[in-house]
Copies of this chain bind each other. A is one copy, B any other.
Amino acid sequence: MVALPVIIGLDALQSRYQVVSLVQETCGLAAGYKVGLPSLLRIPGIGREVRKACDEALVIADLKLADIADTMVRVAEITSGWADAVIAHAFPGYEGALDGLSRFLEENRQKLVVVVAMSNPGASETMDPILEKLVGIAKRARAWGLVAPATRPHVIARARNLFTEAVILSPGVGAQGARPGEAVRAGADYEIIGRLITTSRDPAATLQSLAPSYKGRHV
């Protein structure tokens, strides 16, 4: 596969047709797709359709789960038919939260991706001061990946040092301010890009135009 290290966030798209078309047009060019709560609530069954529209892609259920284990597992059961990976927050902790979710995902051969930092300014006051603790929780939950913001590259670098084996996914590229390529240079493995691609008149061309930002880096 010669896809760019980009995961396309689909949540700004309004209809089933728009989502499926975009995935078909960009299949093979992006490493994966992130299907979030707005899409899942607005378009029932859209997760399976994304899966079907691009079989080779990494498909991520981005519900930013932040609940007790029991509730998170119930949600993961619903997305297990189509999601390769599930995003949950580190904040609710390990015991009674990520412990149960992690066990369920392992049994279902799905990947756990844990949010340890966010791209908005407010999160820097609450989450950044306890980054080590949050990464520790992700490690304890045997996370495959971490989410850390492209808007604060030093946080990516810190997360990378704290958990070297983890795959780092970085949102915040494009509409939120970070430039394509910045997060990967700071140590991220994938950049999550939404509106920059989904609002483009030619998403495949826009995606291809980003290749130089990744200096030919493919996944």
A interface vs B, CB < 8 Å?
Answer: 11-12, 36-38, 40-42, 44, 63-69, 71, 74-75, 78-79, 89-99, 115, 118-127, 130, 133-134, 137, 176
Q: How far is the CA of A175 from the CA of B145 in the complex (A)?
A: 32
Contacts of A69 in B (CB 8 A): 120
Q: How far is the CA of A94 from the CA of B122 in the complex (A)?
A: 5
**Closest chain B residue to A36, Cβ basis:** B71
New A-B contacts (9) at CB < 8 Å, excluding given A44-B44, A126-B137: A37-B65, A38-B78, A41-B41, A96-B121, A96-B123, A97-B120, A97-B122, A99-B122, A130-B130
CB pairs A–B below 8 angstroms (18 shown): A38-B78, A41-B79, A44-B44, A64-B67, A66-B115, A67-B118, A90-B126, A91-B126, A92-B118, A92-B127, A95-B122, A96-B121, A96-B122, A96-B123, A97-B122, A99-B122, A122-B137, A126-B134
Q: How far is the CA of A133 from the CA of B125 in the complex (A)?
A: 9
Contacts of A11 in B (CB 8 A): 71, 74
